[in-house]
Structure 1
Amino acid sequence: MSVARILAEDTNSKQKRAKVDIRSALSFSDEDKAGMIQPYDDALVVTLRIGGYDVKRVMVDQGSGAKIMYPDLYKGLNLKPKDLTAYNSPLVSFDGKVVIPKGQIRLPVQAGSKVVEADFIVVDAFSPYMAIVARSWLHALGAISSTLHPKVKYPLGDRIEELVRNQSMARQCLVSTILHQPTAEPSTSAQEGL
């Protein structure tokens, strides 16, 4: 047997044994913007399965580190104070008020067919959203989100799955926030003018 033939057989057997690991790229294109009312600058609002229930009005906030659960979801999941663990760090709400959390709870969050555990901080404050999922949830999911192409994409095996925004729900949340009339305390500057 010639040396060339032995080398050729060795190369062929290595090629047969080599596994090709081709992964789909997580990317966005103009096709991802199809069906949106433009201009689009609404929050990224999706439906997720949290604690075994389909939950609408979940905001994906890639700028936040905290996953938040609001009163409507807390009550809707029939959670009780005994279900919570202590969380002693105050938070600042969207309107600038300090909020003392009721506690924290770990729940499964399902996106498509992928489930990731998330620690939600439970607060008793107004929000048009049921919950907010944050950067750490995106990282655990292996996902990227785009507010320009309002979607979340993540790998699942050899394919890419996506969560599509609910633009009408995002706009309803915006309107709800605008119409919400918090009990306001008069500011110092307003009192000085009287």
Structure 2
Amino acid sequence: MSVAQLPTDDSGPEPKRPKMYPHSVLSFSKEDRIGTIQPHDDALVITLQIGGYNVKKVMLGDGSGAEIMYPDLYKGLKLRPEDLKPYSSPLMSFDGKIVMPKGQIRLLVQTGPEIMEVDFIVVDTYSPYTAIVARPWLHTLGVVASTLYQKVKFPSEGRVLKIQGCQATARECLVAAISHRPRADSSACVEESS
């Protein structure tokens, strides 16, 4: 078997090829549990850079199809009603009530070296979280998240980067959500026997 060498053309530099990175494997191991309280059933709550600010209490909602922003973040970013684009589809809040959004806004979200535009639906309802990032953000960034390991991992420039969740914040948010719930009258009546 012989191999023939192709003639070379010395007429100029070789065209640039896009950088190719080896396929990153996004997985979790026992080492990823280090620093977490086990066992637990905590939500995955992280800090993200949104609109140029480090924003705490961002819940990762991998079951949700929309990124949501709540009043504390809206006010903290000094956004105004005129900054919003119309958005008229109703949403359901944590307490099961229908909420009409105030509008939608596109903001830059930076995750490590990755910067992307994210459309947030702004709602004026109570939440212990400042925002929820969901499937659109997860899929665009290539994120794999684990509530068990309290981590988010994503590929970036041939490396696997991670964001650590904060269990203490997740638990604070849970307590705040439970404390905020209006008390419902019991539908079951218990009679005392005499």
Same fold (TM over 0.5): yes
Q: Distance in 1 between matches of 2:160 and 2:78?
A: 34
**Residue in 2 that maps onto 1:15:** none
**Residue in 2 that maps onto 1:13:** none
* TM superposition shift of 1:122: 0.4
Mark the CA change 1:129 to 1:138 in structure 2 (over 3 Å): closer, same or farther.
Answer: same
**Residue in 2 that maps onto 1:154:** 154
* TM superposition shift of 1:181: 4.1
* TM superposition shift of 1:185: 7.8
Q: What CA deviation, in whole Å up to 9, does each residue of 1:109-159 have, x standing for no partner?
A: 111221121110000111100000001100111111111211111111110
**Residue in 2 that maps onto 1:59:** 59
**Residue in 2 that maps onto 1:31:** 31
Q: What letter matches 1:174 in structure 2?
A: L
Q: Distance in 2 between matches of 1:21 and 1:132?
A: 30
Mark the CA change 1:21 to 1:134 in structure 2 (over 3 Å): closer, same or farther.
Answer: closer
Q: Distance in 2 between matches of 1:171 and 1:185?
A: 23
Q: What letter matches 2:165 in structure 1?
A: R
Give the alignment of 1:166-185 within 5 angstroms.
166-182=166-182
Q: Distance in 2 between matches of 1:20 and 1:109?
A: 25
Give the alignment of 1:8-157 within 5 angstroms.
10=5, 22-157=22-157
Q: What letter matches 2:163 in structure 1?
A: L
* TM superposition shift of 1:23: 2.1
* TM superposition shift of 1:24: 2.2
**Residue in 1 that maps onto 2:15:** none
What TM-score comes out, normalization by structure 2 length? 0.84
Mark the CA change 1:176 to 1:163 in structure 2 (over 3 Å): closer, same or farther.
Answer: same
* TM superposition shift of 1:30: 1.2
Query: What is the root-mean-square deviation of aligned Cα atoms in Å?
Result: 2.4
Q: Distance in 2 between matches of 1:181 and 1:21?
A: 49
Q: Distance in 2 between matches of 1:146 and 1:139?
A: 14
Q: What letter matches 1:142 in structure 2?
A: G
Say if 2:59 and 2:131, in contact at 8 Å, map to a contact too. yes
Q: What letter matches 1:114 in structure 2?
A: E
Structure 2: segments with no counterpart, 5+ residues: 6-18, 189-194
Q: What letter matches 1:178 in structure 2?
A: I
Q: Secondary structure at the match of 2:149?
A: coil
Q: Distance in 2 between matches of 1:185 and 1:175?
A: 17
Structure 1: segments with no counterpart, 5+ residues: 11-18
Q: What CA deviation, in whole Å up to 9, does each residue of 1:72-130 have, x standing for no partner?
A: 00000000000000000111101100101100000011112211211100001111000
Q: What CA deviation, in whole Å up to 9, does each residue of 1:30-53 have, x standing for no partner?
A: 111111111121000000000000
Q: What CA deviation, in whole Å up to 9, does each residue of 1:136-193 have, x standing for no partner?
A: 10011111111121111111111011111011111111111111144x6879x58xxx
Bigger drift between 32-41 and 95-104 goes to 32-41
Q: Distance in 1 between matches of 2:145 and 2:185?
A: 39
As a proportion of its length, which structure holds more helix? 1
What TM-score comes out, normalization by structure 1 length? 0.84
